[in-house]
Structure 1
């Protein structure tokens, strides 16, 4: 099942996408369902089963506008840097990595993006907030945590996954380089497009059979399967939860493949009027214009 958050004339609530991509109004079929995605995730198996049952009889929500599946995460989004081999190489060679001494990291490089960076499908990426004019794209598959915990083992990791979505880890490269710690370059308001849906873990498979592609203005820039990750999903969950308690609705962006703007010579930074399109079959398409 693909779950979404949408807005229409009746307000904001959760829905599901049918096979044609139309939004189904789950609340219209079952008024007892949680209205927000975080509450649905926290409701566990019972809430998800109820949502599935509601989707079977839910009407189409006419005039629905999709928002980020989790419009306001409860805490910062966990992100992982340099987690595809070829991207690690292109980043090391770009001159924008101010701290790395090794090309391929020995352990996951974890940073975060604040909730205020999240925007939904179709919303403009505000590159005008980047005074350095070095805004770049990073298409990523993101994990949404279902069952929380601390000290989660790799063997148990997939039991804690609610589903998967798409994130664009938009980055102001000059700020990323200047400040060493990446949060200022990556945490700008609107620099985390997310969506269009969360595909539930059972639909994605264990391990998930997902692949990601990114286009800028119709030009294919990135393409890779999730199997190409240096540190896989179980390792990321185990690594983060060893130090930080993961909670229902937490998001882990797993890293971006090669093909980002700084991988070109000269770099191909985003500019106003560009469009970034990221597709993961099974989840959908996340497309945003650049303002």
Structure 2
């Protein structure tokens, strides 16, 4: 009798233990666990995120099949032109860099309506409506789309920026410089080529009530290629205008090519290009644009 009672007690204890359950999804791994985001720039890590084909978008134009998808939720406090941008090249040593794609959806009840998606760059502009919640998904592109296996099919660290524009014009300025040995150019030339650049510029994004309607910009700088005691230098002061109508205008300030300190060629005058980069208007002289520059041959001379 005592043995039977002991068995019954053990069975009751076993039955009282709840069955094992799968771990709860990580914050941001599903739409249901989207991380609350606000205006500003914040860094995240999608290394441990997974993809869910039942929820995640399947494609954006020519891009398809995304991994390490991470979801965010942003509720607009006022109606305004808004920029959402992802910079996935932020690690100090490049160890967690990757190629990202961005999706933005507007939530209306139980449905999600696509606002925009983009890669190269992962940026979307739209007019946010006050009180509307937007779901933002950041995913990793696949190597089949990028041709860059080391930067594809995995997550990493990235900066998510949300900017609500006050007024109709957003102005940004930049200054970038670097010096490095270019492996691709060195392979093409058959000898090491050192590249050094120093660029400054600014751009303006113009908004209407329906979104972005024009982008203008200006870049002033120089890029130098050095090898074997020779230098090829490009100096430029280029303005551009894009009305988002399929035409891109280079305003007409000069591009100069120098070989060992001597002026070799000058491009100047206005160029208007179509979406494929073909000129539809040419008011000037543009030998570099049409003929290019054989940097390897100049450095080897």
- TM-score bin (small chain): under 0.3
Higher relative contact order (CA 8 A, sep 6+): 1
Larger strand percent: 2
Q: What is the TM-score with the length of structure 1 in the denominator? A: 0.23
Which structure has the larger Rg?
2
| TM-score when normalising by structure 2 | 0.23
Instruction: Decide which structure has greater helix share.
Output: 1
